Amino acid sequence: MRRRATNGRARKAVAMLIDVHGHIGRVLPDRREFIDAANLIAKMDAWGIERTCVLALSEHPEGAYLECDTEDVLAACARHPGRLIPFCLIDPRHGNRPDMDFRDLLEEYTARGCKGIGELLPKLAFDDPRCLNLYRQAGAFGLPVLFDMMDGSWHYGLNDDPGLPKLEHALQVCPETVFIGHGPTFWAEISADVPVGQRAGYPAGPIVRGGAVPRLMRQYPHLWADTSATSGNNALTRDPAFALEFLDEFQNQVMFGTDSCRRSDVERLWPTVATIRDLRANGKLPAESLEKIEWRNVARLLKLGMPG
């Protein structure tokens, strides 16, 4: 007599993952690293990722020479509708006025299936009136805004001052808009102590309590964060005990992401994938909390209509 299968009872060793931060196109100037849809799918298969949000870059002058605009994203996602989720991008300087009406673009992009705006990375103050205008209109269409924050020393990225007062201003005046934080300056501000010269870097060592990111995420539930890139991974690995507290407290606002920008990344295990696998394999977070970060939060936010 055959034994009854017991699968489904045991805790799953391998999680479902949805990546909130993926790319196609020539994301970096090196053409050898051009990411086509097949390469993106190969990376997803290699790293156990079920679905990926594909972000555009080329609408910004900062990314104009790159080959990944909203039309490229929509074309790739149409070929892999079960795997790829399109985001659209609008430059807040389009029209160059603080009351520019973006409704035509937003209506078209949402009708064609876009689920968010990103990756927003103009070299502007975070609360530039043209940015606030775009944030407000995105919120009215139910589109979250995924942004990259730098400190002004880079050739791209939204800027803010220490303590992120401009992000806080935007959160106050755009209560209907979900913001998804990403990038070195955003993640450096997880700590109250941001070393001089490290605001666009990867600060090491223990995190000092009272940082702007936890404070703002606590005070403004419409501020979310993605774990992608070296910046997100650094924030979650430099002080493991703090990271577990942070992920537990903000289990409804943090989403797994990769931000892999190279074709050749497929040859290695992506660091943020290794980090989230470690959380699961070693039981470091309650299963329900971890599942939210792995995929449930992004499925809820983007209304992906997934079962379970």
Minimum distance from residue 259 beta carbon to Zn ion (Å)? 4
Is 226 a binding residue for Zn ion by CB under 5 A? The answer is no
Decide whether 120 or 223 has the Cβ nearer to Zn ion.
Answer: 120
Residue 194 token pair: 């941001």
The tally of CA atoms less than 13 A away on the side-chain side of residue 114 is: 31
Helix (H) or strand (E) holding 288: helix 287-291
Measured from the CB atom, the residue of 54 and 134 that comes closer to Zn ion is: 54
Helix or strand holding residue 107 (H, E): helix 103-111
With CA atoms as reference, report the closest residue to 88 among 75, 69, 102, 104: 69
Let me know: does 124 contact 166? Beta carbons within 8 Å: no
Nearer to Zn ion, 185 or 289 (CB): 185
The letter for the amino acid at 1 is M
By the 10 Å C-beta count (0-12 exposed, 13-18 middle, 19+ buried), 26 is classed as: buried
- Distance in Å, CB of 57 to Zn ion, minimum: 7
Q: Which residue has the tokens 């910004």?
A: 60
Nearer to Zn ion, 23 or 296 (CB): 23
Which position's Cβ is nearest Zn ion?
259
Q: Is 259 in the site for Zn ion (CB under 5 A)?
A: yes
Q: Which stretch binds Zn ion (CB under 5 A): 10-18, 77-85, 118-126, 246-254?
A: 118-126
CB of 86 to Zn ion, least distance (A): 15
Tokens encoding 276: 């989230």
Q: Name the minimum Å distance from CB 252 to Zn ion.
A: 23
119 vs 160, beta carbon nearer Zn ion: 119
**Binding track over 77-116 against Zn ion, x by CB under 5 A:** ----------------------------------------
CB-based burial of residue 308 (10 Å sphere; 0-12 exposed, 13-18 middle, 19+ buried)? exposed
Ranges within 119-138 binding Zn ion (CB under 5 A): 119
Residue 13 and residue 281 in contact, taking contact as beta carbons nearer than 8 Å = yes
Contacts of 238 (CB under 8 A, 6+ apart): 203, 204, 205, 206, 207
- The stretch near Zn ion (CB under 5 A) out of 92-100, 102-110, 117-125, 218-226 is 117-125
291 lies in the binding site for Zn ion (CB under 5 A): no
Question: For residues 89 and 194, which CB has a smaller minimum distance to Zn ion in the complex?
Answer: 89
Residues binding Zn ion: what is the number (CB under 5 A)?
2
Binding site residues, Zn ion, CB under 5 A: 119, 259
